Amino acid sequence: MSRVDHHAQKANKRTNPLESLLMPQVPRNNYLHFQKEKQRLHLKKFLIDRIFLVANIPANTTRKDIAEYYEHTFQSIMRQHIGETVTGLLLIYPTVILHILESSSGTLFKILLDYVNHEKNDKEFLIQGMKIIVMSHNIPSRLFLQWQVSVINVPVTYLDDVTQSQTLEEVITEFLIQTHKLGLNLFKAVKVGTKGPGDNLQQVSPELLLPEQIIKYLCKAERFLDPATFIKMYSGPIHISLDSEVVWPAPTHF
């Protein structure tokens, strides 16, 4: 073998590793991606609705009280609606809460009904004056892979109170934009099987958190339905006889 051929073989050996890197690689999903996709497929088993709720809470209400109430409610409902997982986000401010829930329409109806029963029978119930801001039916995908709770202790900034300068429609638009941005941020950041940011949410995404005065403003707005009124409409008959349709005397059939 000539010295030229020998050097050519060495050059080819040195370029092989580079060529292997430049060759198209077959994409491979890791185990975390597999678990996330498995969770998503499981959560798509039923038609999913999403509901946005706001409510007042007494000053002495703790995170533990509210979280335990909802966890107990979810467990009780899941025994009847097997497999219909509840996901979402509960933000607990000093005097109000913002609650986003995702599940089947039947499960969400049961959660609202449980609240209405407590509201009727307990004048000092820990959640008061709840309002339904919006309910979206048959959403294409969930924003949340689990149900999370976060305590928000951001001080009230009265100088930036947009409720004094904006219309209700503008406040609602900002409310929905910010909550969806927050949901998307958590969807990307929270991994399957983890507990999420918890009470550190205000350090993780402070710019996406709504000010407390906006939640309080929406709680007072008369435009939104309370759960009792919503359930009454939900359970009412679809076909209603108008006065113009009633004939008197009633026709006699022979």
Q: What is the pLDDT of residues 168-214, one digit of tens each?
A: 999 999 999 999 999 998 888 776 556 667 777 877 778 889 999 99
Q: Confirm whether 28 is domain-assigned.
A: no
Report the chain's mean pLDDT, rounded to a whole number: 79
0.95 exceeded by the pTM?
A: no
Q: Which residue has the higher pLDDT, 174 or 245?
A: 174
Assign residue 140 a region: left if phi > 0, alpha if psi is -120 to 50, beta otherwise? Answer: alpha
Q: Confirm whether 160 is domain-assigned.
A: yes
Q: Confirm whether 179 is domain-assigned.
A: yes
Q: Confirm whether 240 is domain-assigned.
A: no
Q: How many domains does the chain have?
A: 1
The mean pLDDT of 87-95, rounded to a whole number, is 94
Angstrom distances, CA of residue 131 to CA of 158, 184, 188, 230, 234: 23, 23, 29, 10, 15
For 161, phi then psi, to 5°, come to -75, 100
> Does the pLDDT at position 162 exceed 90?
no
Cis bond upstream, residue 251 (ω within 30): no
The mean pLDDT of 19-27, rounded to a whole number, is 49
For 160, phi then psi, to 5°, come to -105, 25
Q: How many CA atoms lie within 13 A of 211 on its CB side?
A: 15
Give residue 213's domain range: 43-233
Q: What percent of the chain has pLDDT over 90?
A: 46
Helix (H) or strand (E) holding 132: strand 128-136
CB 132 within 8 A of CB 53: yes
Q: State the CATH number of the domain containing residue 107.
A: 3.30.70.100
Q: Which residue has the higher pLDDT, 45 or 86?
A: 86
Q: Confirm whether 220 is domain-assigned.
A: yes
158 pLDDT band (50/70/90 cuts)? very low
Which pLDDT does position 254 carry in this prediction? 41
pLDDT tens digits, 27-61: 556 555 555 555 555 545 578 999 999 999 998 88
Q: Confirm whether 103 is domain-assigned.
A: yes
Sign of CA dihedral 105, 106, 112, 116: positive
18 pLDDT band (50/70/90 cuts)? very low
Q: Confirm whether 133 is domain-assigned.
A: yes
Angstrom distances, CA of residue 187 to CA of 37, 87, 147, 190: 13, 12, 12, 6
Q: Confirm whether 4 is domain-assigned.
A: no
